[in-house]
Homo-oligomer: A and B are copies of this chain.
């Protein structure tokens, strides 16, 4: 909690510090994944669960759109949905993610069904969708600012996966490459929106808390993955088991 509002630069620095301290690139599961330390089944568990997050992002963005009265703001935001869902002529991020699923030997229909997703993943991701549906607009946008920190993790992921795993090719990793192009445009808009509108101490605190919340959403997903599939390796009832949902 700040007693005084920060200047625009100080507030941006405050937001960036949240990423430096809490973004999930610091989580041991990501370190394992990028350094080749994950077994193929651990990569599959990540693909199955992370798909659930991907699949909810356009629903989250639609929930945001549904609350915006300003057509210009809706127009600026709408491309996010197209980026994930695709258009008549352009494949979207979800289809690209399912190519990664196929590349690691999973049946894309199984992954798309979201059967096998851990409850802990659903709870965290659903909390994010609900937050964006219910919170005031500025915190709702601030929660998306983890995109400030995403290009670094995507670049590391492309390089790390290409180096360590046979399934990784420019085609199977196309999701991440596209996000490298899409995220900077989205985040420039979102960051400007938040810096312009969160000017009082309470508004800045609420925006910072929203960004902390979002880092919690991402971190909790990796904590659950790590506990279920790395150590202690206790898979929750009903969640994906190695061997399930494989391409025939």
Contact = CB atoms under 8 A, between A and B. Distances in A.
Interface of A: 21-22, 28, 118-120, 122-124, 126-127, 130, 212-213, 215-217, 219-220, 223-224, 226-228, 231-232, 234, 236-238
Contact of A123 (B21, B28, B127, B238): B127
A22 B120 contact: no
A37 to B, nearest CB: 14
A74 to B, nearest CB: 26
Contacts of A124: 119-120, 123
The complex is assembled from copies of this chain, and their number is 2
Chain A interface, >50% SS class:
helix
A238 B212 contact: yes
Given A119-B216, A119-B219, 15 more contacts: A22-B237, A22-B238, A119-B213, A119-B217, A123-B126, A123-B220, A127-B127, A212-B238, A216-B237, A216-B238, A219-B236, A223-B228, A226-B227, A226-B232, A231-B231
The list of the 9 closest CB pairs from A to B, nearest first, reads A119-B216, A227-B227, A123-B123, A123-B127, A120-B220, A123-B124, A231-B232, A22-B237, A119-B220
